């Protein structure tokens, strides 16, 4: 009985070693090895392409964010220029009418009331 158990364990260990050795895989799947390599290559290319596209999309989003910030800045500058143009136009109109009103040279002061 002991010899039978030892023989079964030894037989099992031999089968495990044979499986891990790769001979069984080579015998059964040897003719399909090229196909497995082809599938592996396709999967690796698919993953690489997805990572590349995702990195490009991240760059595009960053550029879109910068463009929106620059657009806001441009609109603000345009508003400032329009305001300056209005002030100069008012000054021209006042000088054409010979008005004594001039633009102040000092900024307005705040009056504190207690």
Whether pLDDT at 106 is above 90:
no
Domain count, the chain: 1
Structural domain contains residue 109 = no
Whole-angstrom Cα Rg for the chain: 42
Which residue segment(s) compose the domain that 65 sits in? 2-96
CA–centroid distance for 50 within its chain: 13
Q: 19 lies in a domain?
A: yes
Position 76 in a domain: yes
**2-61 confidence digits (pLDDT tens):** 667 878 888 888 888 877 776 766 777 777 778 889 999 999 999 999 999 999 999 999
Task: For residue 60, tell me if it sits in a domain.
Answer: yes
Indicate whether 38 belongs to any domain: yes
Residue 77 lies in a domain: yes
**The predicted structure's pLDDT at residue 58:** 97
């Amino acid at each position: 009985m002991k010899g039978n158990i030892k023989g079964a364990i030894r037989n099992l260990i031999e089968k495990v070693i044979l499986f891990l050795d790769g001979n069984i895989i080579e015998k059964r799947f040897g003719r399909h090895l090229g196909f497995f390599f082809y599938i592996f290559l396709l999967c690796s290319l698919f993953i690489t392409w997805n990572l590349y596209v995702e990195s490009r999309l991240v760059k595009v989003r960053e550029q879109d964010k910068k463009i929106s910030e620059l657009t806001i800045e441009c609109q603000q500058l345009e508003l400032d220029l329009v305001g300056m143009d209005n002030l100069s136009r008012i000054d021209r109109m006042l000088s054409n009418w010979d008005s004594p009103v001039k633009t102040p040279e000092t900024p307005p002061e705040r009056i504190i009331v207690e």
